[in-house]
Amino acid sequence: MRRAWLVPIVLSTFIAATPAFAQGGARPSPDAKPFDTVNVKLASQPGDPSFAAFRQNLGAVAKGRVFETLARNVVSHGFFWDRDFANDFDPKRTGAENLATAIRLEQGSGAGWQMLADFAAEPTASAIPTAPGVLCAPGRPLFEQDDFDRLVDATRSSPTEWVYPHTAGVELRAAPRPASSPVETLGTYFVRVIHFETVPANADPLRTAWTRVAAPSGKIGYVAPDTLNSLAAARLCYIKDITGRWSITGFIGGGN
């Protein structure tokens, strides 16, 4: 049965989406037994050189951490913020001001600027049906929705427990160390999150922590930081105007 929560499921950060057991390790490990493989076709990198140049510049903006410079790269009007805006979105504010609120730009030591840098470095992007001409990153993968639904049901899990590698060939290791013995080499399919190792405050665990996962083979091991993607990842959205200039036009965050 097709479920509405995956059309689409997006959350402001994977921390917000993931059940408490995955952060704190309170849930016992699932049985080490095989489950059905649900393959994922990874999103591609857009072929527009001007878009690549814009994101390269955005990376420099994130490194410089000057709000006025960022504002020149965000639409002044029409910025959208989907899924987790609650009472924070204010249509009277500029796009840059709403973006700063959405990603908590100046929170703590500047975690929002790092988030912006991560978005700029993300190679993939894909269109969204509700906004013609808009590209959002990271791009959404393709997979058989019904197969995924059956996998969630069969394992009595939550959809937020499932992630997939950035690329084929990611190593599943016996311990959360680069030199640890490989258990298995993963393909581009869903694996189940068991828990994360130590995660810095306000950080995305998939980017910063080793992740203990179960593979379809039934083997359990650890995957290095920044090698897994989540359907629940936040997305930054871009648009190209009639002059050929790209700008940030929206943010897709939390909510079902």
Which residues have a Cβ under 8 Å from the Cβ of 185 and sit 6 or more positions away? Answer: 169, 170, 171, 172
The backbone torsions φ and ψ at residue 120, rounded to the nearest 5 degrees and listed phi first, read: -65, -35
Domains defined along the chain, listed by start: 19-42+142-229 (2.30.30.40), 49-140+233-252 (3.10.450)
The residue written with tokens 């076709």 in the block is: 41
Expressed in percent and rounded to 5, the helix, strand and coil fractions of the chain are: 25, 25, 50
pLDDT in tens, 201-251: 656 788 788 999 999 999 999 999 989 999 888 899 999 999 999 999 999
pLDDT in tens, 154-205: 999 999 899 999 889 999 999 999 999 999 999 999 999 999 987 666 567 8
Contact 240, 227 (CB under 8 A): no
Pair of tokens at residue 234: 């936040």
Is pLDDT larger for residue 53 or for residue 109?
A: 53
Q: What pTM, to 2 d.p., does this model score?
A: 0.79
pLDDT in tens, 75-105: 998 899 887 655 678 888 999 999 999 898 9
